[in-house]
Amino acid sequence: MVFNMERRTTPFAKIYLIAIFIILYAPIFFLIFYSFNSGGTMSHFKGFTLEWYRSLLDDKRLLIIVLNTFAIALISALIATIVGVFGALAIYSFKKRQTKNTVLSLNNILIVSPDVIMGASFLILFTIAGIHLGFMSVLLSHIAFSIPIVVLLVLPKLNEMQPSLIDAAKDLGATEWQVLTRVIFPYITPGIFAGFFMALTYSLDDFAVTFFVTGNGFSTLSVEIYSLARRGISLNINALSTVLFLFTMILIVIYYFLQQRSHVKTMGVRK
Amino acid sequence: MKKLIRFFLVSALVSGIILYAISSLNQSEGYSSGNTLTIFNWGDYIDMDLVKQFEKETGIKIVYETFDSNEAMMTKIEQGGTSYDIAVPSEYMIDKMRQEDLLIPLNHNKLPNLQYIDDRFMDLPFDPDNKYSVPYFWGTVGITYNPTLLPNKEFKSWHDLWDPDLKNEIILIDGAREIIGMGLNSLGYSLNDTDPKHLAEAYNKLQKLTPNIKAIVGDENKLLMQNNEAAVAVLWSGDAADIMWENEDIDYVIPEEGSNLWFDNIVIPKTAKNVEAAHQFINFLLDPKIAAQNTEYVAYSTPNKEALKYMDPEMVQDERFYPSPELTDKLEVYENLGKKNLSIYNDLFLEFKMYRK
Amino acid sequence: MNNRKMRNLFMIPYALWIILFVVTPIILVAYYSFFDIEGYFSFANYKKFFTPVYLKMTLSSFWYAFLITFFSLIIAYPTALCLTRTKHKQLWLLLIIVPSWVNLLLKAYAFIGIFGKYGPPNQFLEWLGIGTKQILFTDFSFIFVSVYIFIPFMILPIFNALNELPSSLMDAATDLGASKWTTFKRVIFPLTIDGVKTGCQIVFIPALSLFMLTRLIAGNRVITLGTAIEQHFLVTQDWGMGATIAVFLIIFMFIIMILTGTRKRGV
């Protein structure tokens, strides 16, 4: 049963949400605004230009970097989610509270670790293991630091789940596998999606860890942008971010409306 | 459950497509071919047109990576893992890398264009005889200020920063050596001083500066000065040049007690695979016309005397960025103070940052 | 039972991850913490941590992390609540996450522009006649931007928790005569406390090691443990001291986990 579908959105709620969205998007619009600036910086708006966007078309290297970033983000989020879900299931299945808490604490160490330390220690690990620095090492690292957050977002859902559900299913003759796929997974799906998107966010945002473990020409957007800091970010980065941002928005809207249509077709059972 | 599986399959498919796109792009750009040169440089620190030109002229494919701090760069080189053929550290880092045996000596026979470098910038303490490095860009540390915001204020010496009228107006670079060095210089000491008494004096003097400090930032100080967020900043000359390009009110001055002379030099790390191509590239960059074009893009000061002839005379005659030999004699290059002293400097600096409240 | 074998099989990747990427780095970090800057085995680093400078830094980090978590919570909770009452919940949720995919450095630069002397807030203040104020490099701007960055992380778990509440509970409470506030206090909030805890963990713990934001927005007027670690690892290359601070961070994390650990059963 879903919470409160019937209660109308109060005007207060609407205003509050709008205010939050305005604040959330203010910097983004700031960046988009200046991506059209013919003056080179984000301070004085001199005039309108599309030159920054045009310069993107020529920059093959930047394109490869963007694609690298997406590939790493998607793949690491996928794998991290899978491993994380199993990890959450594992922690959930421990009977002793002590084991639970120990493993959970171990799980969270990477969240608390400063990126620099993670990056440095992973680098040492990879060097000892002789792993070639580049796509693989970055991917492994991103999976590594995304797993904890998936666990943290899936576990509460597992804990909330009433054991009676499982008992009922078993009583009705479900096998272990069916309990897993027909009862548990559907229940924790929101947690899984949350974990996936957080993992995506962690990956897209990361700079320090990626910087340390990358090599042989492999670079992500964050590393490139941070390296520009000493010299100043030129507005083609603004243009790039705008393009990526719009692209993401369009994807989301399309995805959502596709979803809506499929729901209408199945005559609205449960969401 | 079905929704989950569908979602994952779609994502996996999209990832596959992206991977395919990457590999085909890499191939079309020639990254997978044999003769490559891997360069590790600061962000936006070379005219990429020159990179393309080099590739066209020699057929060597360049793999380009960037870093944002000397220490991060050194950590990566130390750990191995990637074989960089060329790196561009700052002078104090070169000293360190030299001592830790991380560099390959350069074969000057392969670098005939070395003759065009101003002698002032050769054979400096951090790399005697330029055994391991070649100057790339150089500059100074000084004071930038906006005269229109501070009428009647002159900045001739470091001491002028302590003016009580400048409350909350100053931005400092986030660098222990630079700031402690500034403290030392203002007392007449060398900025390589390690005498604990002098350091304590400098620290005390710096603490008195605290009310005037608005922020201690790294690279963002350029942005802040451009926006007139502060009236005064202690900056590197390269940054100052960039700011003055955007905001014409601003002026730059090197204090008379002395200051820091910094260099970014090109080196070949020990783990380099293509030493031959590395030499070719260095010689290419030393060519006066190439250096001139690069300098026009990067806008820092070039050590290439011959290149100056091909550049805009206004830029070249600007004493602020091309100070006379008399002035550069007064400036000091950072010496490697050793780990222990460096640690002391950094601890002092950390305390200094925390003191401000 | 053959399901146990299956379960163990599934757990292997996770267990592997823990050993390789959690336990091994901890051992590495602990190992390094016992070496001083000259490379000799010593407890000097630990001694150094207990000096006023570092203790002050620790307290300051905790204080800021607490403030950031607190403000994130009081802003995120109502947001999550309002979200659950809209029609296209998942869409709005996604839209809240999307800004966090824009690069942090870029957003920080945008904030430098926004909070600057000539940015919109100050222009508004000018128009009101109050005059421009120094917004950047203050505690306010630092906490504001940090909360901005962490908000999606706090909203997500709370939203998930809220979303699962059966509305029958709410109806029952109202039927029994409870006011909206009482319903919230006695029914809604306690049932979502797990989500709140998760959110706090995801925000508080990383907030202790913030170093990018302290540099960019706080202008290094705020020094967290993360800043110090970054300095030691990169600038001084005193991996020993950096590792020591990291050890303490890990210990603090364990303590926090124990203090806020889950003990109960479901409803």
The residues facing B90 across adjacent strands are B264
Q: What would the mean pLDDT of C233-258 be, rounded to a whole number?
A: 81
Q: Answer whether B352 touches A (CB < 8 Å).
A: no
Tokens encoding C5: 């074998």
How many other β-carbons are positioned within 10 Å of the β-carbon of residue C24?
A: 16
How close A259 gets to chain C, by Cα (Å)? 11
Over chain B, what is the mean pLDDT?
Answer: 87
Q: Do C219 and B353 touch (CB under 8 A)?
A: no
Q: Which residue has the higher pLDDT, C134 or B291?
A: B291
Chain B neighbours, 3+ Cβ pairs < 8 A: A, C
Give how far Cα B307 sits from Cα of A28, B304, B330, C2, C121, Å: 42, 5, 24, 77, 47
DSSP annotation string for A21-43: HHHHHHHHHHHHHHTTBSSSSSS
Q: Are A120 and C237 in contact (CB under 8 A)?
A: no
How close B284 gets to chain C, by Cα (Å)? 32
At residue A2, the pLDDT reads 43
Contacts of B353 in chain C (CB under 8 A): 220-221, 223
Distance CA B288, CA B14 (A): 48
Q: Are B268 and B86 in contact (CB under 8 A)?
A: yes
Contacts of B75 in chain C (CB under 8 A): 234, 237
Q: Answer whether C79 touches A (CB < 8 Å).
A: yes
At residue A264, the pLDDT reads 64
- Report the DSSP pairing between strands B251-253 and B133-145: antiparallel
At residue A134, the pLDDT reads 85
pLDDT in tens, C13-55: 888 888 889 888 888 888 888 887 777 777 888 888 888 888 8
- Closest partner residue to A114 (CB to CB) among C107, C157, C229 is C229
Q: Which residue has the higher pLDDT, C89 or B60?
A: B60
Cβ contacts of B216 within 8 Å, gap of 6 or more? B171, B172, B173, B174, B179, B353, C219, C220, C221
pLDDT in tens, A43-90: 777 888 888 888 888 888 888 899 999 999 999 999 999 999 999 988
Chain A neighbours, 3+ Cβ pairs < 8 A: B, C
A-B contacts at Cβ under 8 angstroms: 125
Chain C neighbours, 3+ Cβ pairs < 8 A: A, B
Q: Do A152 and C201 touch (CB under 8 A)?
A: yes
Q: Do B75 and A120 touch (CB under 8 A)?
A: yes
Contacts of B21 in chain A (CB under 8 A): 67
The percentage of residues in chain C with a pLDDT greater than 90, rounded to a whole number, is 10
At residue A8, the pLDDT reads 52
Q: Do B354 and C56 touch (CB under 8 A)?
A: yes
Q: Do C85 and A9 touch (CB under 8 A)?
A: yes
Q: Please give chain A's pLDDT, 271 residues, in tens.
A: 344 444 555 788 888 888 999 999 999 999 898 888 887 777 777 888 888 888 888 888 888 899 999 999 999 999 999 999 999 988 888 888 888 888 888 888 888 777 878 888 888 888 888 888 888 999 999 999 999 999 988 988 888 788 888 888 888 887 877 777 788 888 888 889 889 988 999 999 888 899 888 877 788 998 888 887 777 778 888 888 899 899 888 888 887 787 777 766 554 444 4
Contacts of A45 in chain B (CB under 8 A): none
Best of C91, C102, C150, C259 to disrupt the A interface by mutation (most A CBs within 10 Å)? C102
- Going by pLDDT thresholds of 50, 70 and 90, the confidence category of residue B284 is very high
Q: Do A74 and B31 touch (CB under 8 A)?
A: no
Q: Are B106 and B116 in contact (CB under 8 A)?
A: no
Residue B21 pLDDT > 50: yes
Amino acid of residue B233: A
Q: Answer whether B356 touches C (CB < 8 Å).
A: yes
At residue B290, the pLDDT reads 94
Q: Are A201 and C152 in contact (CB under 8 A)?
A: yes
Q: What would the mean pLDDT of B93-121 be, rounded to a whole number?
A: 91
* Cα angle value B336/B342/B346 (rounded, 5°): 140
How close C110 gets to chain A, by Cα (Å)? 5
Contacts of B68 in chain C (CB under 8 A): none
Best of B9, B10, B13, B18 to disrupt the A interface by mutation (most A CBs within 10 Å)? B18
How many other β-carbons are positioned within 10 Å of the β-carbon of residue B156?
A: 12
Q: Do A28 and C7 touch (CB under 8 A)?
A: no
Q: Do B216 and C235 touch (CB under 8 A)?
A: no
Q: Answer whether B100 touches C (CB < 8 Å).
A: no
DSSP class of residue B123 equals S
Give residues 47 to 76 of A whose Cβ lies within 8 Å of C: none
Q: Answer whether B71 touches A (CB < 8 Å).
A: no
Residue C167 pLDDT > 80: no
At residue B32, the pLDDT reads 56
At residue C165, the pLDDT reads 79
Distance CA A54, CA A90 (A): 51
Residue C249 pLDDT > 60: yes
Best of A44, A128, A211, A260 to disrupt the B interface by mutation (most B CBs within 10 Å)? A211
- Closest partner residue to B220 (CB to CB) among C56, C216, C221 is C216
Q: How many CA atoms lie within 13 A of B98 on its CB side?
A: 24
User: ipTM more than 0.90?
Assistant: no
Q: Are B210 and B108 in contact (CB under 8 A)?
A: no
Contacts of B355 in chain C (CB under 8 A): none
Contacts of B346 in chain C (CB under 8 A): 231-232, 235-236, 238
Is the Cα torsion angle B69, B72, B75, B80 positive or negative in sign? negative
Q: What would the mean pLDDT of B103-107 be, rounded to a whole number?
A: 94
- Going by pLDDT thresholds of 50, 70 and 90, the confidence category of residue B148 is confident
- Report the DSSP pairing between strands B36-42 and B86-87: parallel
Distance CA C161, CA C80 (A): 10
Q: Answer whether B3 touches A (CB < 8 Å).
A: yes
How close B197 gets to chain A, by Cα (Å)? 34
Best of C164, C210, C232 to disrupt the A interface by mutation (most A CBs within 10 Å)? C164
Contacts of C195 in chain A (CB under 8 A): 156
Q: Do A211 and B226 touch (CB under 8 A)?
A: no
At residue C267, the pLDDT reads 29
- Closest partner residue to B15 (CB to CB) among A39, A74, A231 is A74
Q: Do C117 and B229 touch (CB under 8 A)?
A: yes
Q: Do B68 and A230 touch (CB under 8 A)?
A: yes
pTM (two decimals) = 0.84
Best of A43, A109, A115, A223 to disrupt the C interface by mutation (most C CBs within 10 Å)? A109
pLDDT in tens, B184-219: 988 888 888 888 899 999 999 998 988 888 888 877
Give residues 193 to 252 of C whose Cβ lies within 8 Å of B: 215-216, 218-221, 223, 228, 231-238, 241
In terms of Cβ atoms closer than 10 Å to its own Cβ (0-12, 13-18, 19+), residue A164 is exposed
How close B6 gets to chain C, by Cα (Å)? 17
Q: Answer whether C172 touches A (CB < 8 Å).
A: no
Q: Do C99 and A225 touch (CB under 8 A)?
A: no
SS3 of C260, please? coil
- Report the DSSP pairing between strands B61-67 and B261-267: unpaired
